[in-house]
Amino acid sequence: MTAPIVALDTRLLRVPLTRPWGEDVRDLGVIAVTVRDADGALGHGFSWTPTIGAEAVQALLDHDIRDFALGRPADAEPLWDDVWLRLHEAGGGGITTIATAGLDLALWDLAARRAGQPIADLLGRRRFETEAYGSGVNLHYSLEELVAQTERWVAAGFGAVKVKVGSPDLARDAERLAAVRSILGPDRRLMIDANQRWDVPTAIRALDALAAFDLAWIEEPLRADDLPGHVALRAALSSGPRVPIALGENLHTAYRFREFLDAGVVDVIQPNAVRVGGITPFRRIAALAAERRVQVAPHLLTELSGRLAMTLPQECLVEVVEDASFGELGALAAPAPVEVVGHRLRDTATIGLGLRFAGGPDDEDAASAGVAPLAAARP
C-alpha cells in the first residue's frame, strides 16, 4: 500500500532572465515543492509561471492543495483527479492546474526516486535522445539582433528554429523572415509563433504573405481558446497556403485538447507540462494525440519536456529557448538532467525528475545561486 503524504513544503523563487522576453517579462516565478511520505521518502517538483501569478500559485499549494493532500496516498495519478475536482471551483485551468503541477511532479519524482529510476524509465522509456529546435522570444529584437540569434542557432547545429511574428506592420514580419530564411538556407525548418496576436482575417492575410518562406508551422495564430475561430481559419486555409497549425501552450486541460483535436483544427499540439497540471495530464493529452495521429511538441521547460519526450511513441521536437533553461539561468542546485549536443537533446539518466532548485535548505551552493528566494517553506 502506498504510504500517505505527511508534509508538503513550498519555496518561491524569482529567476532573472538573461534575455528578457519583453519589457514586462524579465524573470520567471518558480515554486519549488517538496513532499514527504510516512516512510520518509522525498519528492521534489515545481510550479512555474513567467512573472505573473506565482504568489497566487504558492497560496493554492500552501492552503487548498496541502490541506487536501495530507494523509492521502502519495500516488500521483488518482490524487491528481481528486485535487482537480476540488480546485476547479476556483477555475478549471490556469492557476489551479499550474499549482496542481507542483504536487503532481513531486509525487512522480518521489516514485521514481523510490524505484531508483530516471523518470523516463519509470514512465516507459522509448529513447535516450530526441531532436531539439532553437527558439527565441524575439519579436522585440531589432533585425540585427534577430539575424545574430539565427546565426548562433545555425552555428550550434540546429536543423529547425522558431521566431516570433505578429508585428503591427506585416511588412516587418516579412522582412524579418526573409532575413532568417536566407541564413537558414532551404533545408532547415522554420517555424513561426504569433502568440495569439491575430484574428481570423488577419491570420489569413498574414499566412498568405508569409507562406512563401516555407513554414513548418504557425503557432498560436489566434486567441488560444477560440475554437470557432480555429475552425474558420482551417476552412479558409483549405483553399489557400497549407501551413500546419500548432497550439496548446495555453490550453490547460485534457478536455480542451480533446475539443481542438476532435475539431480537426490542429496539426501539432504543444502541451506545457506545468500549465496542464503535471505529468499525469500531460500523458493523457499525449495519448489523445497518438490516437488521432497528431504530432506532439512539448512547450518550453526543456529539462522536463525533454525527459517526457523520451517516453512518447514518436520522436518529437523539443523547444530550446536561447539562454532560458533552468540550468543556463543558474536556477538548479545540480547539473541539468538533459544536455543539448548540436541539434540533439539527450537524457543524462539522472534518477527521478533530476530538478532540484538552488537556494534550498539542503543546498550548500545557495550563496552562489543565481536565484533569489522570496519566501521560505511555510509551516
Q: Which residues are catalytic?
A: 164, 299
User: How many Å apart are CA 313 and CA 296, to the nearest integer?
Assistant: 10
Distance, in Å, from the CA atom of 154 to the CA atom of 144, rounded to the nearest integer, reads 15
Measured CA to CA, the distance from residue 288 to residue 76 in angstroms comes to 20
224, 196 Cβ separation under 8 angstroms: yes
- Rounded to whole angstroms, the Cα distance separating 157 from 151 reads 10
CA separation for the pair 239, 305 (Å, rounded): 35
Rg of the chain over all Cα atoms, to the nearest angstrom: 20
What secondary structure does DSSP assign to 251-265, as a single string?
A: --SHHHHHHHHHTT-
Coil, helix or strand at residue 84: helix
Give the up-direction half-sphere exposure of residue 227: CA atoms within 13 A in the CB hemisphere: 11
Q: Strand, coil or helix: what is 109?
A: helix
What are 249's three cell numbers? 501552450
358, with CB counted inside 10 A (0-12, 13-18, 19+), is: buried
Sign of CA dihedral 197, 23, 18, 103: negative
Strands 27-37 and 5-16: antiparallel
